[in-house]
Structure 1
Amino acid sequence: MIEILTSGVALGVHVPGLLLRDRLREQGASARVTVLERLMPAHTLATTARSKQAFHRDFRVALAGQKLARDASIATDAQAVDDLLRDWRAREVSRFVVFSGFWLPIIERYVERYAAGADGVPVDVCHVDSVQSPSFDKAGPTTLAVEHVWLADAANERIPCSIPVSREEPLAWTDRDHRLLVHGGGWGMGTYRERAPELLTHGFELDVVAYENRDLAELDGVRFFMIDPEWHPWLDDGYPPFGPVVPDEVPVFAQREGHHGSFDLARRALATVSKPGGGTLLDSLWSATPAVLLEPFGPHEQRNAELWQHLGFGIAFDDWAAKDFATDVLEDLHTALLAASPADYSRALL
């Protein structure tokens, strides 16, 4: 049994865990995803939901909040943690794959209680970002003997391995819509909304991922999509319910099987326009869709952007604007992405 440990605070951490689970199950392995927030009391989750809304509405608040964040494992309920440790023991978990550093102190407790003096349980720390992300910095050093797995590696300027979002081949460049996918990650953060009018004036149609109803507007050339605002990763084991939204109409959200719904939009787009989160890079890689990179959410995302530009997979928004938003620039990036051939982490894990 492989236990995949994520956090619902960031879909760029949680969705890759779901993808890994599905790729493992396709190969006959037993794997389960557990979300850290399921161990937290209701009042803590309510605070998290309020923070998400504030971070979406003002990127400056988000950047300040990131600096003030603390180790989330201390907010967990002690009884819930004890129950989970017993559950791991009963299910004979044979390996942990950790996507959030806040899980490491909890695994330490498990090892102390059930595996002290033995060989222990192998722990893979799976880095979605190209450098260590804030959750591992906030959690501090660990006593566990972990194996570090990098889905992107800024230090060595490469992609050592990856998690396939889909087994489908990327869509051919000539078969793509003349559209851009514009979004702000799972929390809808960043400056993507401010960039939409400029992109429209240059002849692109847009698929914009809204975060709340107040983001919607009647704009020619723009289709809006949204993750169900009532859904949170700790409510179920599926991908975010996702669908098109129209002002003054009741939306219909659906949970995609196998991968998240927004990836279907990325596959058909000429580029994604977004901050450089780790999940965005993963989608870019497996859809062979170039990333037009907006302002990063912290230093780790800045390193993501630098890596993607170095590899020829992405371009900064202002640099693309200086080239008059030329589509042949995007086609060159698409060609470079097609040539990437990272190892499949799910296969290596087995």
Structure 2
Amino acid sequence: MIEILTSGVALGVHVPGLLLADRIREQGGQANVSVLERLMTPETLATTARSKQAFHRDFRTALAGQKLARNASLATDDAAVEQQFKAWNKAGVKRFVVFSGFWLTLIEQYAERYGAVPVDICHVDSVQSPSFDKAGPTSLEPRHVWLADADSGLIPCSIPVSREAPLPWQERDSRLLVHGGGWGMGTYRERAAELRQAGFDLDVVAYENQDLQEEGVRYFMIDPSWHPWLDNGYPPFAEAGKPFEQCQGHHGSFDLCRRALATVSKPGGGTLLDSLWSATPAVLLEPFGPHEQRNADLWIQLGYGISFAGWQNQGFAPEVLQELHEALLKADVPDYSRELL
């Protein structure tokens, strides 16, 4: 059994964990996903949900909140942690794959009680992300797995979002996918308005009903009442006004990404993953912290993305996006799920 440890504070951490579990199971392996927030009290979860809304509404608040965040493992409930440890021991976990640094303290405690288990730290971002910085040093001896590596300028391995081949450029919709990551953060709404003025048709991922304002935009939403700690399904997703559905095998927004000319978003690790496996260029907006700036720099260096300002300076020419798409098609990246098995 491979135990995959995620956190609900960011879909860019949680969804790659779900994808890894699905790719392992497709090959006959056993995998389970645990979400850190399931070990927290209802009061703590309510605070997290309120923060999500505040961060969506004001990017400056989100940036300040990131700096003030503490090690989330300190907010877990002792009884829930003990129950989780017993479940892991009973299941015979052979390896932990950690997507959030906040799990490391708990794994140390588990190792002291039940014996050491091999640990992979799977980095979705191209440098160490804030959860690992906040967690501090660990007594564990983990293997570091990088889905993108800013220091080497490479993509050492990856997790396939889908086994389907990217859609040919000529078959794509003449639309752009605009979003703000799992919590709807950043300047994507302002940039969407500029792109509409430039004449582009847009698919925009909205996060509250009050976001549904722009005429001529096709809006999609994640169910606002859903949180990653409620189940191990992908975020319920649908065009605004239609019933939400949980896609199988990958998250629903990826289907929009596959058909788009580009995805326009802050440079989160999940956005890079979607860009890679759909061969859809990334138009990169203002980052959520220095680690996302390194993500953007890497994607531009590899020829897979362009800054919003850079594309704007070229008159928003679609030909620029096609060149990036063709570069993405040439990417040949090892599959981390195959290596695990």
TM-score for both structures, normalised by structure 1: 0.97
- Matching of residues 294-305 of structure 1 within 5 Å: 294-305=285-296
Aligned equivalents of 1:322 and 1:296: distance in 2?
19
How many angstroms does 1:146 deviate by?
Answer: 0.2
Tell me what 1:195 maps to.
191
Tell me what 2:177 maps to.
181
- Matching of residues 167-316 of structure 1 within 5 Å: 167-217=163-213, 219-220=215-216, 222-246=217-241, 251-316=242-307
Tell me what 1:43 maps to.
43
Q: Does 1:20 align with 2:4?
A: no
C-alpha root-mean-square deviation of aligned residues, in Å? 0.6
Aligned to 1:292, the other structure's residue is in SS state strand
Which amino acid is the alignment partner of residue 71 of structure 2? D
Aligned equivalents of 1:308 and 1:203: distance in 2?
26
Aligned to 2:192, the other structure's residue is in SS state helix
Q: How many residue pairs end up in the alignment?
A: 341
How many angstroms does 1:109 deviate by?
Answer: 0.5
Tell me what 1:73 maps to.
73
How many angstroms does 1:314 deviate by?
Answer: 0.3
Aligned to 1:161, the other structure's residue is in SS state coil
Aligned equivalents of 1:227 and 1:218: distance in 2?
18
Aligned equivalents of 1:184 and 1:201: distance in 2?
20
Could you list the per-position Cα deviations for residues 280-316 of structure 1 after superposition, in whole angstroms to 9, with x for gaps in the alignment?
0000000000000000000000000000000000000
Could you list the per-position Cα deviations for residues 216-266 of structure 1 after superposition, in whole angstroms to 9, with x for gaps in the alignment?
12512x1000000000000011000000004xxxx3100000000000000
Aligned to 1:162, the other structure's residue is in SS state coil
Partner residue of 1:163 out of 159, 165, 189? 159
Aligned equivalents of 2:73 and 2:286: distance in 1?
29
Which amino acid is the alignment partner of residue 278 of structure 2? S
Aligned equivalents of 1:21 and 1:207: distance in 2?
28
Could you list the per-position Cα deviations for residues 67-117 of structure 1 after superposition, in whole angstroms to 9, with x for gaps in the alignment?
0000000000000001101111111100000000000010001100011xx
Aligned to 2:218, the other structure's residue is in SS state strand
Tell me what 2:96 maps to.
96
Q: Which runs of 4+ in 1 moved over 3 A?
A: none
Structure 2 gaps, min length 5? none
Aligned to 2:248, the other structure's residue is in SS state coil
Structure 1 gaps, min length 5? none
Aligned equivalents of 2:333 and 2:136: distance in 1?
30
Aligned equivalents of 1:236 and 1:198: distance in 2?
37
- Matching of residues 316-335 of structure 1 within 5 Å: 316-335=307-326
Q: Does 1:138 align with 2:134?
A: yes
Q: Does 1:109 align with 2:109?
A: yes
How many angstroms does 1:177 deviate by?
Answer: 0.6
Aligned equivalents of 1:57 and 1:229: distance in 2?
14
Aligned to 1:303, the other structure's residue is in SS state helix
Q: Does 1:59 align with 2:42?
A: no
Which amino acid is the alignment partner of residue 283 of structure 1? D
Aligned equivalents of 1:132 and 1:253: distance in 2?
34
